[in-house]
Amino acid sequence: MPINYEQLMALKNLGQKYAYGDREVMLYAYGIGMGADPMDEKELAFVNEAAAEPRPLKVVPTFASVAAWGAGPGEMHLNRVMVVDGERDITFHKPLAPSAHITADSSVLAVYDKGKDKGAVIRHQTVLRDDRGEPIATLVASRFARGDGGFGGPSEGQPEPHAMPNRAPDRSVDITTRPDQALVYRLCGDRNPLHSDPGFAKKAGFPKPILHGMCTYGITCRGVLQTYADYDPSAFRQHAARFSSPVYPGDTVSIEMWKDGNVISFEAKVKARNVTVIKSGRSVLA
């Protein structure tokens, strides 16, 4: 069924109710690879609530991407097999609590027609609010629907990507993913078989299951968190990235970073395969 532009633009879903606890917070941190070293106290603060010395459990800022998993504007009737994440941009209004009851308000921002053989891009927004109605985070997502182009909608007007500095990176960090990492991360909510079933992955055009783009997104947040924020989640004001190529579980992700004032630009590569997996990354810190 071709995209109905007017119907898609009108999609809106307000007051969606969710709750999460420390189990979900720790599972997300473990899902993006934190806690691999059981003696690393800085990372343990995100994956272990049981400490000899009392301390608050920390929440990875990009947990916001799964805190209300499933929230969205409504059914878009896209070809699911051909849909991948395009971009993600989260603005953080306040740090996330280790447990909370929240609401999510979702709407479609824009739909772009790239052409019959090139697909469509759908941008939609979800605002997470606490139990007092105050905003916690605003999530803007971009989906690339590879099989849904050619419906006659607008083709121009997409936001320009963040401009990267024209110099060698100031810092870089290598983060190795585990061969089973997608099987863990999917427990945070995204059960798309593209990330777990070899047959489905081949049907979608991949040689084997790929890591969730949002897991890679979380890994880039982790890179900035440990390099420039001293593991302080409250330092984050924004984290945005554009997905350019998949990561396969077991890959080592190299995150290159540039610091200009409170803005951290970043890109991520898998050097063993000579591919850039994240482009135009931008974190804004306090």
User: Euclidean distance between the first and final Cα of the chain, in Å?
Assistant: 45
The verdict on whether 212 is a catalytic residue reads no
Please tell me the distance from the alpha carbon of residue 275 to that of residue 169, in angstroms, as a whole number. Answer: 17
The verdict on whether 190 is a catalytic residue reads yes
**Residue type, position 3, single letter:** I
Choosing from 124, 195, 212, 239, which is the catalytic residue? 195
Contact between 99 and 22 under an 8 Å Cβ cutoff? The reply is yes
Choosing from 85, 89, 105, 190, which is the catalytic residue? 190
Which of 212, 207, 211, 236 shows the shortest CA–CA distance to 224? 236
Distances (CA, A) of 267 to 78, 258, 262: 29, 9, 17
Query: Active-site residues: which are they?
Result: 190, 195
